[in-house]
Structures are given as C-alpha cells and as structure tokens.
Amino acid sequence: MDRVRMDKWLWAARLFKTRALAARACELGRVEANGHSAKPSREVHAGDRLRVRTERGEYELEVVTVSQIRGPAAVAQTYYRETEASRALREKLAEERKAAAFFDGAAETRPSKRERRALERLRGRG
C-alpha cells in the first residue's frame, strides 16, 4: 500500500479523533499538502510534507509511511516525523496556555448587587 486517502491517513495517524473530523478539517482548509490545500480524497504518499492545524496546535509533518489502519498511539507516531520547529512552537504555546490559566481572573461567584451596578456604570448602561 503506497497511497491512502488524506482523511483516512490523518485518522490513522491519530491527528483527529474521527475520520469525519479529519475530512471536515480538509474541507475548511486546515490541512495543506506540499504547500497546497488538501481535499479529503487527496492521496497521501510517503515523503509528503503536511501542515495540519488542530485545536492542539499546528503541526508540520513529513509522512514516513502510509496506513489506513488505526492502531495504538505508539504505532501511529511512527507514521510521520514532526519538524523540530513545529514541536518547539507547540510546546511554547502549551506553556503559554498553562500560564494564562493561572492568571485567569474568572470569578467563582456571581457579582453582588453593588458590583453589578458598578459594572453597568462602567459599560455605560446605568
């Protein structure tokens, strides 16, 4: 097997949880193959360079092997090789998200009547 549909390969490589999500990402232009937007039916070959945007970050990958069988995560990671720049950028963004959650000032309770009136004045409604 030397070629597989893009959506099947993305699903088998565990970049997306379902094949439908992989196909939807292709349709929305979140997957590029060799610099061109990829359709779900595009065939993936070993040696292709992919750029994939997911909710976890942006990946720049080189396809090592093609498979349409979804196996364990350890096996799926052998299907591609991620560039060092891509890995470093994703780790940096993950650290920033982790730090931002620490400084998130979300209130644990509803505002009191006094605080609500102050917010309304601040917003120009009161």
The Cα–Cα gap between 118 and 113 comes to 9
Average pLDDT estimate for 4-12: 95
DSSP 47: T
With contact defined as beta carbons under 8 Å apart, do 16 and 28 qualify? no
Residue-level pLDDT at 124: 87
The domain locations on the chain are: 4-104
List, in sequence order, every residue forming a beta bridge with 37; answer none if it has no partner. Answer: 32
Average pLDDT estimate for 8-22: 95
Class of domain 4-104: alpha beta
Query: What does the pLDDT look like over 82-105, one tens digit per residue?
Result: 999 999 998 998 888 888 766 666
Average pLDDT estimate for 30-51: 94
What is the DSSP pairing of strand 49-54 with strand 4-5?
unpaired
Q: What is the pTM of this model?
A: 0.76
What average pLDDT does the structure give for the chain? 90
Residue-level pLDDT at 96: 86
Helix (H) or strand (E) segment spanning residue 11: helix 6-12
